[in-house]
Amino acid sequence: MTLELERGKDATVAPSQHAAPLGPKVLRLPGVYRPQEDTMLLAREYLRSGLAGRGSVLDVCCGTGYLSLVAAWSGARTVTAVDTSARAVWSARANARLFKAPVNVVHSDLAALHPTRSYDVVLANPPYVPWFGGGGAGPCAKWDAGADGRAVIDSLCASAGRLLAPKATLLMVHSAVSDPGKTVAMLSEAGLTATVTAHEHIPFGPVMRSRAAKLRAAGYLLPEQTLEEIVVVRADKQ
């Protein structure tokens, strides 16, 4: 098994408001989702929104644990990272040790998380690219998310009310291909105040490029489309 070093992109984190870059290199086992533009958009929105440093943070589908490091270095009281991928859990634990960040990394899915535990902030970068093949190993397996890209997103929306403490906030990033309007609607129906707070157009990444022909045939992409819109959905619990 080969360990890879991945360099993060244009993210600067200010722990306790003191300028210090988040270590640009994170450890990643093969097959673990690397920090990319969606990761950075969510990290920037977390820092911009005033949520940094607030109480307890849950990082769902944590991958390398990059967002957990952002939260820990920004002053969160406790940080819990969760993923169903054993390789992701190993990578996140290794990065927490490497950067001396107090992150508790849990090998679990949402359903198995402690039923009475809630958090002040939930960060989520779930798989969201529609997948037309077989199922993956667990709902957070790499970046496969079902035929409509919403297998994990819908689960998160259904669990958000339970995961959020009173006055808490969920920030979730995903592609416009995966219907942000439905995400907002599901979260609103769950009693949360939900809206899109950030978006960005980026060139197709390797996953989107590899599936572009099938996505166009299924009507998810326009014939000549080469840019993908990613969004951050915010949901607040009263």
Sequence ranges of the domains in the chain? 36-236
Tell me: the pLDDT tens digits for 50-61? 999 989 999 999
Q: Is 201 helix (H, G, I), strand (E, B) or coil?
A: strand
- Determine the topology of domain 36-236 in CATH: Rossmann fold (3.40.50)
Tell me: the pLDDT tens digits for 21-80? 454 589 999 989 989 999 999 999 999 999 999 899 999 999 999 999 999 999 999 999
Instruction: Specify the pLDDT at position 40.
Output: 94
Instruction: Specify the pLDDT at position 142.
Output: 59
Chain mean pLDDT for the chain? 87
Residue type present at position 74: S
Token code pair at residue 201: 């157009």
Instruction: Specify the pLDDT at position 147.
Output: 85
pLDDT in tens, the chain (238 residues): 444 445 444 344 433 333 334 545 899 999 899 899 999 999 999 999 999 998 999 999 999 999 999 999 999 999 999 999 999 999 999 999 999 999 999 999 887 787 779 999 999 999 998 887 654 444 445 567 888 999 999 999 999 999 999 999 999 999 999 999 999 999 999 999 999 999 999 999 878 888 899 999 999 999 999 999 999 999 999 9
Backbone angles phi, psi at 125, to 5 degrees: -125, 75
Torsion of the alpha carbons at 231, 234, 85 and 78, rounded to the nearest 10: 140
Q: State how beta strands 25-28 and 164-175 pair.
A: unpaired
Instruction: Specify the pLDDT at position 134.
Output: 54
132-157 residues labelled b (16+ CB within 10 A) or e (exposed):
eeeebeebbbbbbbbebbbbbbbbbb
Give the dihedral sign, CA 209/214/217/221. Answer: negative
Instruction: Report the 3 state secondary structure along 44-65.
Output: HHHHHCCCCCCCEEEEECCCCC
Instruction: Specify the pLDDT at position 11.
Output: 40
Residue listed under structure tokens 């014939």: 223
Instruction: Specify the pLDDT at position 192.
Output: 99
Token code pair at residue 10: 């244009």
Closest by alpha carbon to 124, among 187, 73, 181, 177?
187
Instruction: Specify the pLDDT at position 143.
Output: 65
pTM of the model: 0.88
